[in-house]
Amino acid sequence: MSIQTVSGSKGLLQKEELIFDIGTTETTGVDLPAPKGRKDRLGGLKRKNGTGLPGLSEPQAVRHYVRLSQKNYAIDLGLFPLGSCTMKHNPRLNEKVARMPGFADIHPLQPQQTVQGAMEVIEQLEDWLKKLTGMPAVAMSPKAGAHGEWCGMAAIRAALIDRGEVNTRTRVLVPESAHGTNPATAVQCGFKVQEIAASSDGRVDLNDLKAKLEGDTSDVAGIMLTNPNTCGLFERDIREIADLIHEAGGYFYCDGANFNAIVGRVRPRDLGVDAMHINLHKTFSTPHGGGGPGAGPTVLSERLAKYAPYPVMTVDKRDGDYKLIYVDDEAELAGTDLKPLGRMCAFHGQMGMFTRALTYILSHGADGLKQVAEDAVLNANYIQARLKSVMSPAFEGYCMHEALFSDAFLKDSGIETVDIAKGMIDEGYHPMTVYFPLVVHGAMLIEPTETESKAELDRFCDSLESVARKAKSGDEALKQAPYLAPMRRLDETLAARKPVLRWLAEEA
C-alpha cells in the first residue's frame, strides 16, 4: 500500500526543499538596525545589488542541513560496500587524539622549536611507513592518493633527468585494469602511456608485457601497477614483472591504493617496487571526509630516495630536535646526496591525518596490522562464497580484499547492473561500485573491509541475494527502483550531460 502524506515527509524522515525555496532574498535571518556614526570603509566597493541568497533564521538553517544530512549514507550507519574505496570504520580514538590541543591548535607557520611534539608524530609515522613497506625513504607532503602518484612519477622523472635520459625514456606501461589516475598521472609528468592487456584470470598478461619489452627498450621509463589489482587479485607474477622493467632500465611504480590487503604481510620493497603511495584513509582508517582532507605519503626505494620532495625531516644529533628543511634552507643539505625534486604543497602535509593514522597504527601494533589485512581478505572471500551460487564471480578462485562479480547471471533477464544497485538502496545500503573495473562486463565490486562483523556481512548478503534472485527472474519492478529513497531514480545520463548547476528563479 502506497501512503501519501500532506507534508511530503515519510515517517520521521523530513521532506526538504532547496534552500532557495525555503527562504527568500527579501528577508534575512537577523534583524539589526543600520549602524549609525560609522564611516563607509569600502572605498566605493559597496554592493549595488543584492546577493541573491535566501535569508534564513538560525533554526531554519540548522534544520535544513540536518535534514539533508539524514538523506546521506555513511559508514556510521551501516556497511559501505564501495569496492576500491575501502570504506572502513574510523575509530573514535583517532578523532580524540587529533583534537588534543597540542595537535589541533598549532599552525604550520609556528617556529619549529614550538611544535616538536607534532614533528615527532610525523617522524614516527614516517618510521612506521618505511618499516611496513621496507623502503628507505618516504615523502609525507602529498595530500591524496593521486597527489602521491604524481610524487612517485615525478621522482622517477627526476631520476631520469639525473641520468640524462628524460627525453628518451618516455614510455610508461599501464595495465588496462588500472585506476584512471595512473595514465593521467603519467601523462601529467610528461610520459606516454602504453596499455598492457589483462589475462583471462584478471591479472597482467605477462606475455603481452614481454612482447612490449622486446627489442629496443631504451624508451622505457617504467610501469604503473596496482597490487593487489583493481579486480581484487594479487599479481602472482609481480617479481618477474619488476625484474623485466628493471632489466629494461625502467622504474616500478606501484599504486598502493590496496595496501590495506597486504599490510603487515608483504613489504613492497621485497616485490621490487621503486615508488608507492599509501592512502592513509584506506589502510590506516583516516576519514574520507567527503572528498578530503586526504593524505598520500609516498615511499621510495634506494634508487629514488634522494629525490624525495621538500620538506626533508632531519634530527639534530646533538640535542635530538626535529627540523623540517625547506627549499630556502637547501644549503643545509650540503654534503649529502639528496636532490629533492621540489615542493608538493605549501607546507609538510596533512597533520590531522598523520595524527589519526599514527594513533591507528599504535593502537593495533605490528601484529594487529597484520590481522587487519587478514580479516579484510577473509571478509571479502566470505561475501564471494555467500553469493557465488546466485551471482557470477568474475574470476575463479579466492580473491583478496574485494569480491568482483560480472553481470553474466543477468543474461536474458532484461535487468542490468544499475538495477541491482538501485534495488540495494531500497534495502538500506549504498550500492557497491558498479561498472568498474572496465575489464569486467557489468562489474559489481564489493569491499567489506575488516571492520564488519559476520552478522553485518550476513545481513548485507541476505539483501543482495534477494535482489539478485529478483533480477534473475526478470522482475521488472527493479527497473524503477529505488522506491523508498527520498528521491526516485533520476536520468543519470541527462544529469551528466546537461547538469543544472545553478538555481534560477524563473525556472523554479
Q: Where are the beta strands (DSSP E) in 57-201?
A: 137-139, 171-175, 192-196
98 and 131, same structural domain? yes
- The CATH number that applies at residue 383 is 3.90.1150.10
Query: What stretches of 94-218 adopt beta strand conformation (E)?
Result: 137-139, 171-175, 192-196
Say how far apart CA 134 and CA 121 lie, in whole Å.
20
Any domain includes 411: yes
Whether 32 is in a domain gets the answer no
Q: Mind spelling out the 3-state secondary structure of 302-357? A: CCCHHHCCECEEEECCCCCCEEEECHHHHHHHCCCCCCCCCECCCCCCCHHHHHHH
pLDDT of residue 42: 86
CATH number for 224 = 3.40.640.10
How many folded domains does the chain comprise? 2
Same domain (yes/no): 313, 238: yes
- The mean pLDDT value of the chain amounts to 93
Please answer whether residues 390 and 408 qualify as being in contact, where contact means their C-beta atoms are separated by less than 8 angstroms.
Answer: no
Mean pLDDT (whole number) for 34-40: 82
- Residue 499 resides in a domain: no
All 3 cell numbers of residue 327? 627549499
In the prediction, which pLDDT does 292 show? 56
Alpha-carbon gap, residue 89 to 71, rounded angstroms = 20
- Residue 313 in any domain: the answer is yes
Q: Let me know whether 431 and 323 are in one domain.
A: no
Residues 6+ apart with CB under 8 A from 367: 264
* Residue 83 maps to a domain: no
CA 134/CA 264 separation, integer angstroms? 11
In the prediction, which pLDDT does 211 show? 97
How confident is the model over 27-51, as a mean pLDDT?
Answer: 83
Looking at the domain assignment, is residue 215 inside a domain? yes
The interaxial angle of helices 145-163 and 181-188, nearest 10 deg, is 40
Average pLDDT rounded to a whole number, residues 67-81? 92
406-413, Cβ contacts within 8 angstroms, sequence gap of 24 or more: 406/440, 406/441, 406/442, 406/443, 406/444, 407/441, 407/442, 407/443, 407/444, 408/441, 408/442, 409/468, 409/471, 409/472, 410/442, 410/471, 410/472, 413/471, 413/472, 413/473, 413/474
Question: Does one domain contain both 378 and 285?
Answer: no
Q: Alpha-carbon distance 434 to 418, whole Å?
A: 7
- Residue 334 grid coordinates: 650540503
Domain stops at, among 291, 325, 357? 357
The one-letter code for the residue type at 221 is A
Q: What is the pLDDT of residues 456-507, one digit of tens each?
A: 999 999 999 999 999 999 999 999 999 998 888 988 889 999 998 887 766 5
Q: Residue 42: what residue type? A: L
Q: Which of 322, 337, 357 is the last residue of a domain?
A: 357
Q: Which range among 154-163, 194-203, 208-217, 324-333 shows the weakest confidence by mean pLDDT?
A: 324-333
- Same domain as 395, residue 295: no
Between 51-60, 325-334, 353-362, 425-434, the lowest mean confidence (pLDDT) is in 325-334
Q: Give Cβ neighbours of residue 444 (< 8 Å, ≥ 6 apart).
A: 83, 391, 404, 405, 406, 407, 417, 420, 421, 432, 433, 434
User: Per the domain annotation, does 43 fall within a domain?
Assistant: no
List of residues 6+ apart from 348 with CB closer than 8 A: 108, 122, 140, 141, 311, 324
Mean pLDDT of 206-224: 97
Domain's final residue, options 341, 357, 373: 357
State percent of the chain over pLDDT 90. 76
448 pLDDT band, cuts 50/70/90, is very high
Q: Check residues 32 and 132 and name the one with the higher pLDDT.
A: 132
Q: What's the CA gap between 281 and 278, in Å, rounded?
A: 9
Assign 33 a pLDDT band (cuts: 50, 70, 90). confident
Which pLDDT band holds residue 24 (cuts at 50, 70, 90)?
Answer: confident
Q: What is the pLDDT of residue 177?
A: 87
Instruction: Give the pLDDT confidence of 376-398 residue by residue, as tens digits.
Output: 999 999 999 999 999 999 999 99
- Mark whether 312 and 394 lie in a shared domain: no
Asked if 257 and 384 sit in the same domain, the reply is no
pLDDT of residue 311: 92
Where are any strands of DSSP class E within 256-301? 275-277, 298-300
User: 166 and 99, same structural domain?
Assistant: yes
Q: Which of 134, 349, 83 is nearest to 263 (CA)?
A: 134
180 Cβ contact list (under 8 Å, min separation 6): none
Residues 404 and 261 in one domain: no
pLDDT tens per residue across span 267-315? 999 999 999 999 999 999 999 865 557 899 999 999 999 999 999 988 8
The pTM of the whole model exceeds 0.85: yes
User: Nearest to residue 425, comparing CAs of 80, 75, 37, 19?
Assistant: 80
Using one digit for the tens of pLDDT, what is the confidence trace for 129-186?
Answer: 999 999 999 999 999 999 999 999 999 999 999 999 999 999 999 999 888 899 999 9
Would residue 34 count as lying in a domain? no
Given the DSSP bridges, would you call strands 220-226 and 251-255 parallel, antiparallel or unpaired? parallel
Q: Are residues 321 and 381 in the same domain?
A: no
118 and 220 both lie in a single domain: yes
Domain identity same for 324 and 460: no
Give the C-alpha separation, 258 to 401, whole Å: 8
pLDDT at 1 over 80: no
* Domain with 171 in it: 93-357
C-alpha span between 27 and 215 (Å, rounded): 74
